Amino acid sequence: MRTSTIIAIDGPAASGKGTLAKRLAAHFGMAYLDTGLLYRAVARDVAAAGDALDDPASALNAASKLDAQSLDDPALRGPLAGDAASIVAKIPQVRAALLEYQRSFARADGGAVLDGRDIGTVVCPDADIKIFVTASDEARATRRHMEHESRGETIAFEKVLEDLRRRDSRDKERNIAPLEQAAGALFLDTTTLDADQAFAAALLLIEHARRRS
Ligand code: CDP
């Protein structure tokens, strides 16, 4: 990989994009940014201020003041934070305020891997490698359900599936930077793949794409 290589990975919730992005970053010795955490943190800060998640002024204020150190907060990882994130993520001013942070991260020495919903389409449209990762709704809900169970949380599978589909629709149907496959993105369906198999498949796709270019 060139030292300035950017790998953009997009896809819906629980598609395996985060796990894949982290592994590719470790494999190629590149920096890694989970951009979903930015939106999750904005939602956390709006809620902490006692404001409604769809309040543009409060959300812009939170996005402008976002402290990168606070992204390690374990509370950001849960499903409620993900749902809240998808509400602030619809606000154009929030997306604009987070753009430069993501772009400057992408220019990191040694290259970077970013994962999210709009990395290949908006944040880094010139990324060297773009991958769109997806899986069937049922496979994704099964993964999320297992994550809940491993944390000792009891929740019906149907509820997990319903929540996931609601968030998918919000992300795909919003007016700004909707979730969609970027032009030129490699397509990876992880429905029947575990994390190791998805990683191996992505490496093959990247290898083929680089030989063609
Ligand atoms: O990990 P998971 O895929 O469940 O969620 P996430 O990547 O942390 O993203 C949480 C929410 O943030 C998504 O549902 C999107 O609404 C929003 N998001 C976005 O709009 N753009 C991004 N680049 C990343 C996340």
Whole-angstrom Cα distance, residue 138 to residue 165?
10
Residue nearest to atom 20 of ligand 1 (CA): 89
Tokens describing residue 203 = 């490496």
Tell me the residue type at 38: L
Mean pLDDT of 179-199: 97
Residue of 86, 124, 132, 174 with the most ligand 1 atoms within 8 Å of its CB, for mutation:
86
Q: Which fold has domain 6-200?
A: Rossmann fold (3.40.50)
* Ligand 1 centroid to residue 196 C-alpha, Å: 23
pTM: 0.96
Tens of pLDDT, residues 18-71: 999 999 999 999 999 999 999 999 999 999 999 999 999 999 999 999 999 999
Whole-angstrom Cα distance, residue 11 to residue 168?
10
Tens of pLDDT, residues 133-152: 999 999 999 999 999 899 89
* Ligand 1 centroid to residue 199 C-alpha, Å: 21
Whole-angstrom Cα distance, residue 101 to residue 179?
20
Residue nearest to atom 13 of ligand 1 (CA): 86
Closest Cα to residue 170, out of 82, 52, 50?
Answer: 82
Asked if 123 and 95 touch (Cβ cutoff 8 Å), the reply is no
For the chain, what are the domain ranges?
6-200
- Percentage of the chain exceeding pLDDT 70: 100
Tokens describing residue 65 = 């003041």
Residue nearest to atom 23 of ligand 1 (CA): 116
